[in-house]
Chain A
Amino acid sequence: MDFMIAIADGFIGMFQAGAEVFMGYMTGIIPLLVTLITAVNAVTKMIGEEKINRFLQKITKYALLRYTLVPLIAVFFFTNPMCYTVGRFMPEKYKPAFYDSAVSFVHPITGLFPHANSAELFIWLGVATGYATAGGSQAQLGLMFLLTGLLVILMRGLVTERISAYMFKKQGYERILNEK
């Protein structure tokens, strides 16, 4: 009987450990997310889609902005996955590079703006909660994640742009390369 009790204890204990972790999320993370996401949602509604689209349309022609500011604004306001629709404002030859750049930003942005990809928060949260437990500043790590993310998507956009240009040529799609 003692043996059975020991097993039952272990069985329940395993889930009690999980329950504690869950409670930590509910009290530590959820309240912050609720207020933060509500505020950002309201801001994006107030600014309105039209204005953002008009602005983005103007700045996609600059390579530096195309792989930094454009994905940042697209992911911030339109969130994952609607942010990729911004690709329609640029010539065909840039679309693969823009997608690569934008999709690589949907996690770096969650450190400070979790609304942008709330379904996939745990890429960030998994590491960040551990970092905070060890005594680090989660806000600082979040900021660095965002800034490093911008550098990475610029690099990634430029590399993918070159590779896709090479492949367009190789496949005989010069027409697409010449498209304005």
Chain B
Amino acid sequence: MANHKTVIVSKGKNGWGGPLELTPTDEKKYVISVTGGGIHPVAREIARLAGAEVVDSFKNPVAKEQTLVAVIDCGGTARCGTYPRLRIPTVNVKVMSPSGPLAKFMTEDIFVSGVTVGDVELADSETTVAAVPKTEVDEAEVKNAEKNKETVAAAAEPVEDNSTNNEIEGNKGVMGIIDKIAKGAGSFMNIMYQAGRDTIDTIIKNIIPFMAFVATLIGIINYTGIGEILANVFVPLSNNIGGLIILGVITALPFLSPLLAPGAVIGAIIGTLVGNEIANGNIDMSIALPALFAINAQVGTDFIPVGLTLGEAKPETISVGAPAILFSRVITGPLAVVIAYFMSFTL
């Protein structure tokens, strides 16, 4: 593996972040492909140009210390933040800009999206090719630094207040009690305010966009009459427990479930259709609870290596865990529907 070369990965059309400069070493020599359905061509291309090894993270998990770069295909929110959080350079083949609970970890120096095979190139003429993107990165870093300064400055004010408060704290008696109350109220307000800010942030970034998409979809489905056609397909399958168990088996199939799971989008669409038919009276209300499990037997199957990595699992554990979970779902998927069916008698 003496042939290590520096590779530059730029963002694709409509992509975000980067460019990333990647140089494999003897220690960090693996390009991991966390894309499901085999090794992604972009991962293969990076490995070929850089003289690194490419592995399918679902089959052969690699410790994070040995990972040069992670190639992912996440259009959702969770997976794309996981590797940046571990400070592993991340190449997303899907177009997306930072969002989701881990958005703050996705910075331009470590995350690039919308990448295609054509965006991967060798840093041959290092001085010319590398120089241009570098200045871009520098500018971005300066901007980031400025932003940080602002937040630091904003954060510094309350801190100063606290320190003056601390001096007063020496005073005992009435002043001391008043001061304690004031301090308590101050920190309570701070927490509540920050909680509110986080909430509005997640509602704007995560919830409303999904609502926009679902509302548009339902509008089209109901208005055009596609709804009736879909109802004819769905109602026989989902208005009785037998059909729901079959749905639970389908969504749990090991080769299908990782494809159905990303972002919980497919489950959400089927759930919305079922809910729509419950509202229209075509599906019985008692079906709601088992249906919630039948549409979701695939949950998280696309995320197994990443989730286990977050739990600091060893590569051996991941290589055993992924098939174990996929296989377990074949049993527990339909079984969950049955449990929910019996629980629904109490509704």
Q: Which residues of A contact B (CB under 8 A)?
A: 10, 13-22, 24-26, 29-30, 33-34, 37-39, 41-42, 45-46, 79-82, 84-88, 92-93, 95-96, 98-100, 102-104, 106-108, 115, 118-131, 133-136, 140-141, 144-145, 147-148, 151-152, 155-156, 159-160, 163-164, 167-168, 171, 173, 176
Contacts and interface: CB of A to CB of B under 8 A. Distances in A.
Contact of A38 (B196, B219, B263, B336): B196
15 contacts: A10-B223, A13-B223, A14-B223, A26-B208, A30-B203, A37-B203, A81-B79, A100-B325, A103-B300, A122-B268, A130-B279, A141-B289, A147-B343, A151-B343, A173-B320
Contacts of A79: 101
A141 B203 CA distance: 23
Contacts of A120: 263-264, 268
Contacts of A86: 311
B216 A134 contact: no
Contacts of B217: 18
B98 to A, nearest CB: 13
Given A18-B217, A41-B194, A144-B343, 19 more contacts: A22-B215, A26-B208, A30-B203, A30-B208, A30-B211, A34-B200, A41-B195, A79-B101, A80-B78, A84-B311, A92-B316, A107-B296, A115-B199, A130-B288, A134-B281, A140-B347, A156-B336, A164-B325, A176-B316
Contacts of A39: 195
Contacts of A84: 307-308, 310-311
B228 interface: no
B153 interface: no
Contacts of A148: 289, 293, 339-340, 343
Interface stretch (B52-60, B118-126, B270-278): B270-278
Interface stretch (B24-32, B37-45, B327-335): B327-335
Contacts of B281: 134
B292 interface: yes
Contacts of A45: 191, 194-195
Interface residues of B, number: 93
B210 interface: yes
A160 B328 contact: yes
B209 to A, nearest CB: 9
Nearest to B311: A87
Contact of B219 (A19, A107, A133, A145): A19
A128 B285 CA distance: 10
B324 A163 contact: yes
A77 to B, nearest CB: 13
B36 interface: no
